[in-house]
Structure 1
């Protein structure tokens, strides 16, 4: 069996046939052809293409003719490579095994596909280029133009040719998708234009310059005959592999294509089915190539991206997709302005019910029950004729607890009525369908009106007049009746009653408010600020130094346990919020606060039970002897107060601290904070009374792995130096686990040895427990327990209030009394009745719900899963921490190559997966993972799956 020549042979071929002097040759990726980059002695570069055996010489000549046509057409704004003749004047050299070689220009630039997220505007640019190429090739006629393997007319042939590689189950699944797409276009295929097409004009096959402008079009190896609309479909499909709003990007590209090479109505019908067909073909061909060439790294890298294209292509129903395409092309009629008979009597003054994400109906996790919106509507109706949802409402549905974007936006209105309430035709028309609990009537010279939740009285094909009975409201299993009414201005296409958010302008045009059909005035839909409008307002009124997560953050307005929920009804798994230790929306805290606010909220100089009860409960959790509590409002205040207490108790001012640590934002807490991620100039700006020890970072620091014990030796040497300089320490302030470092554990015995040394010098040991306490570590309630240390002072906050501002200092009676030398201490809101009730309730719920044990069990599961991912992905370097305070290093080659850009990109990609994680550490390269302690097995699996998907795609992009 003949094989393609090795690189040495190909260099010799280039020298012999083309007279080139290549000093280097290297393979570039390709599914089937072989592309070799030749670097010449003068620095020039050429591309040597070796076609696979299935490509005829005539087909290669047709490719050359297409290149010449594109180069001569001024409407094609990007460059195309020239084909170089051999010494003998030919352009194609046979290799004797059915393959042929050619030499082309190697165009400078890089494909934008190298980035997982395309720049803004790139999809439309690609669409315009694809339209220009399609228009330029429209008249090309050449005997070598054939229907190639990528011709979408041959999609079934490609699929069946890969049957063995796919396996029976996957072959059947892909076949069903292809059959559905084929049935959709069966009536129009005979009217689709066939011409010469590029066949693969995607972001893979264009080049951009340093400014991001498209400069070149490459890889015309798939030039052949095919449907012209197939070029638009191929591009749209290719865009579905990228991060970001992929469907919107695909529609933008199609609209730009249409502006250059207008699509016929039949081509509009065919477009999205062909997107699906292209995705099926890519999936099938990819598996076949890997079966034939298991070592084909390029093909292997493509598979997860091809799977993503298919997933996204099939996320839309075919009617839904065509509606969005028609809107993107501006081919949507204005809704008819008519007078309608109300379909349901008595709704003119009916109440509109808030079913948005912030509706009280969803409190206490009620949104996880499928019937909550229905129940809320029915409850609001009472004895009235009906109650309606607001137009275009985003519902909060149980699906928000899982991955993906729920179809949360109502395309019309939901109406609660009495069971059996008549539903009549709003005008003359024809009933086009009546099946199950649904009915559609096409209004004369108007929209199609869709109704669900009814018992149809009319049958399909029946002509009706205004006011004629269509159906009656069906009684549900809960004894209520809810009717959905929506319309489509393109009456031959039926949108679903609920659609995914993100195409609001389209759905408002395609499915306008059905209020006129119900005897009501249409709503003003611009009643709430969009996430971007709110972000703009935030930047105007809220100091920007108070940063926000993400480049384009979702608008989060509700939380429940370990879920965060945006105003579109999408749920996000909260993996970063160690403040809300009990989770979000905890009703026991809400009830306790509401009760206490109705009774009293004042300051701790007054005498009331809550401050005593909470102080007793908090002291009972501390080691024996630490029996005295001071209450404040935050971790920064707690650390600041702890420093003051240490100074007052010792009569000294100097404090020992560790690098890479964050302690707070007050003057005192900031003075001992050295986290470069929070303050890049921290090490150069410490006051003279702060003395620093190297962070005992066993992963990236001076001493690593088994040598980490040497950090204590270094610390003792440093203390001796301070002794020699006459420095008398008031105390040590240290996190028992490096929180902002990503949960880095201190070497065993380090803190105990350091504490002994500080005590021997008359200093006080302060444990900064702000981030890692309250059972988050699972095996320990306090972080210092992991180090076998009993501090003199504990500073704690964050978890204490589950988001309510609450902090504390816990110490001995003697140390607290020594602080009195500075006078009395008072915090206006610290220790208020409300804060104390919150604090007591948090401790009670932690115990009642067994959340510390859950942190141990789920933390072990999460830690093991993350270690497994580190073994598979070199970009994940290590896992730090314990329990539910973990950190994952993102690196580009090991501990000494932290990868902050990679960490940021992973966090952005996880957001699209519905998971919220943020980077931390001095290099901002550690994924901090510290979810509410309510997280369960399903959520842990969801997070690990999401991170694996992101890493698989990153690996794929890196390999292209």
Structure 2
């Protein structure tokens, strides 16, 4: 070190007494004590263009200092001229040491955030006026224009949930920002206004250090970097962003396209930080500089996804005085809908919602409102999950055909799907909906047995085809006859007086067993949902299916499990609903969540049933099993495993049901809480024991106004239906519980 000190004295006339290393990603930085003050010593590894880069940074710092309101470090020139000296195979330079605390350690109130906005505005003005760049910089991983260089490390993020959020934000960035890349204003930006580079004094931002990441890029990228760090650990990140942006705009007016893309640019910076930290931590696992802010970044990306782009765009336009893009009102939608669609299609809630976007367990109205979705079970792994989007997009780009050709995706998906079934269920037919799957399952059963009658449960629902409606008591209307349908009473434990220890199953199956004996010669199949959805989220009693399946098979019939609503890990411990009862059906119907919103369904059956069906007319589905559908289905299976969503469903569901039961101890309105995993029903009864249908509707609409979406179901529509996308977590459960509890405490629950 003495030799280096001697070189510093020779080139700068300074006499160093000590150096203290500072953290950083690449080049080494030291705080240097010398006679007369402190300085910053930078050590650079030589490489192509390195010397030109140092000279460029020197010019840039000097440019930023001219007429500046904020402080930027000065480059100390060497005696012989230039910005650096060479020693021992490395390049060294000395910069002015600016006094002040760091933003990371400061109290960040509104005044502070406004000063941050003014700094970022000054940076934009300086960057825009820097002029021609004498070198052509190589692509730089910390430049938002080249976010893909960081995103390649996404798979190195340890937490699968954060990995998916990052992938989602990256895909949104690609779709929204990149098409506008060449229209955004550019300049030579600082590019690293992070909370350890921003200097603070007396509660306000005073300056900025470290131009090592400066690059020629979008002016709005510099704003996005600075705002991102201003949002860390804020309860209301969007309000903090608005405060910063308002002050920025007063110094350097933002362009409309920059304001509209700012949400995605901030999301891109979050992706960059998380991916780079995950990658670099492998080589520097103990570096606090790399890991210190990652908890805050992870929290912020969760918050940012929930805020959504619609609210951000409207907020950013409002604070900068830009005209709003008008949001079409509900009445306009209603009139168009009434003119174009059938009145048989219903709308949810007293005040229907105009939805514009969605992400994971959140949905976004066209007015910017963000809703917690505790209702839409079709989006099993979350709305717009990036893995499903990526794979279906790629499949649609490369091949979409039908089963009259060989192609890999249908086979790899079938193999992956059948691994979740016992060996006896070894054949799969792909269709394009749960309703089509029901229709096919009934055809299979009738062809195999040579019989026509099907036994189903009251209040059950199995699809919208003619065959499905015939066995769906939930859709039956007085006066309509379905001669090939036998109905058994819904075996509901609650209110039966029997315990669910096998006793209820034994007693509640008697009626069904009697009908099986009476109609045995004509009975083709028995069909049931393991937990009845439209019946009011009613689990079948333990022992019920075991007795019924045994009786059906004894007379030569087949047993069908309708897993459309409860399958694919929703129940937590059990991937399929039939597993919770210790039985194995002959046919399984799949749909709804199978493709995460992509129209996909299937029937899984035994080899014997499939071979028998092949002796009849050829089965062909134009869209069943196409490559895009198979890509969606395989992605769902992989995400369920990678993110361990069934386990999360089990843990979150157990917690939510326990808390709902505790809430029921306070509120007599809650009569029963039932279900499994994240398929939950809360039955409401009045003090006289009658169904609390009106109260259930009030709660549903109240929660909608509180930005939480649930629904109601059951024969009397008095059961709160909770079946969210599986990313729904404990924090989401707490929000639902808090808002439901607030309603119950305020309202009279007894009438």
Q: Which runs of 5+ in 2 are unaligned?
A: 1-109, 111-123, 129-164, 189-217, 222-226, 255-292, 294-309
Corresponding residue number in structure 1 for 2:544: 750
Alpha-carbon distance in structure 2 between the residues aligned to 1:826 and 1:397:
56
Relative to structure 1, the CA distance from residue 551 to residue 423 in structure 2 (aligned partners, 3 Å threshold; closer, same or farther) is closer
Q: Distance in 2 between matches of 1:810 and 1:567?
A: 40
TM, length-normalised to structure 2: 0.60
TM-aligned CA distance change 1:541 to 1:380, over 3 Å: same
Distance 1:801 1:942 in 2: 28
Q: CA deviation at 1:623?
A: 1.5
Q: Residues 82-108 of structure 1: CA distance to partner in whole angstroms, max 9, x if unpaired? A: xxxxxxxxxxxxxxxxxxxxxxxxxxx
1:381: which partner in 2?
184
> Does residue 805 of structure 1 match 2:599?
yes
Shift of 1:729: 0.7
Contact 2:505 2:544 (C-alpha < 8 Å) held by counterparts: no
Q: State the partner residue of 2:509.
A: 712
Return closer, same or farther for 1:374/1:643 CA change in 2, 3 Å cut-off: closer
Separation in 2 of the partners of 1:687 and 1:880?
Answer: 31
Deviation at 1:865, TM superposition (A): 0.7
Q: Aligned to 1:696, which of 491, 497, 508?
A: 491
Q: Give the Cα separation in 2 of the matches to 1:686 and 1:409.
A: 62
SS at match of 2:509: helix
Aligned residue for 1:584? Answer: 383
State the distance in 2 between where 1:403 and 1:632 align. Answer: 46
Higher RCO (Cα < 8 Å, 6 or more apart): 2
Q: CA separation of 1:791/1:388 partners in 2, compared to 1, >3 Å: closer, same or farther? A: same
Instruction: Find the partner of 2:527 among 733, 739, 752.
Output: 733
Which residues of 2 match residues 231-246 of structure 1 at below 5 A? Answer: none
Matches within 5 A, 1:172-187: none
Post-superposition shift, 1:945? 1.0
- Deviations along 1:771-823, one digit per CA (max 9) or x if unpaired, are 01111111101100111110000011111101111000000111012112431
Shift of 1:747: 1.1
Unmatched 5+ stretches in structure 1: 1-316, 318-342, 348-361, 390-394, 425-477, 479-499, 516-522
CA RMSD, Structure 1 to Structure 2 (Å): 4.3
**Equivalent residue in structure 2 for 1:848, among 623, 632, 642:** 642
> What is the rounded CA distance, in whole Å, between the counterparts of 2:320 and 2:326 in structure 1?
14
Distance in structure 1 (CA, Å) of the matches to 2:386 and 2:735: 25
Among residues 715, 722, 744, which one is paired with 2:519 in the alignment? 722
Distance across 2 between alignment mates of 1:379 and 1:573: 36
Task: Find 2:348's aligned residue among 513, 525, 549.
Answer: 549
Change (3 A) 1:374 1:656: closer
Q: Distance in 2 between matches of 1:397 and 1:530?
A: 36
Q: SS of 1:955's equivalent?
A: coil
In the alignment, which residue of structure 1 is the partner of 2:612?
Answer: 818
Task: Name the structure 2 match of 1:145.
Answer: none
Question: Structure 1: how far apart are the matches of 2:380 and 2:490?
Answer: 27
- Determine the C-alpha separation between the residues in 2 that align with 1:822 and 1:759: 23
Query: C-alpha deviations, 1:276-300, integer Å up to 9, x for none?
Result: xxxxxxxxxxxxxxxxxxxxxxxxx
CA contact (8 A) 1:696 1:711 kept: yes
Alpha-carbon deviation of 1:663? Answer: 0.5
Q: Aligned pair in 2 of structure 1 residues 781, 683: CA closer, same or farther (>3 Å)? A: farther
Contact 2:656 2:733 (C-alpha < 8 Å) held by counterparts:
yes
The equivalent residue for 2:72 is none
- Write out aligned runs for 1:434-445 (5 A): none
Report deviation, 1:387.
7.5
Query: Secondary structure of the residue that 2:419 maps to in structure 1?
Result: helix
> More helix per residue: 1 or 2?
2
- Whether the aligned pair in 2 keeps the contact of 1:397 and 1:569 (CA below 8 Å) is no
* Residues in 2 aligned to 1:423 and 1:946: alpha-carbon distance in whole angstroms: 40
Equivalent residues in 2 for 1:205-354 (5 A)? none
- Mapped pair 1:921 → 2:714: yes
Tell me the residue number matched to 2:584.
790
> Matched residue of 1:795: which SS?
strand
In structure 1, what is the Cα distance between the partners aligned to 2:725 and 2:328?
29
| Alignment match, 1:860 | 654
Equivalence map 1:49-198=2 (5 Å): none
| Change in 2 beyond 3 A, CA 1:566/1:403 | farther
1:633 Cα deviation after fit = 0.7
* CA–CA distance in structure 1, aligned partners of residues 588 and 230 of structure 2: 41
Separation of aligned partners in 2, 1:562 and 1:556: 14
* Matching residue of 2:159: none
CA distance in 1: counterparts of 2:237 and 2:332, whole angstroms = 21
Contact 1:648-1:821 at 8 Å conserved across structures: no
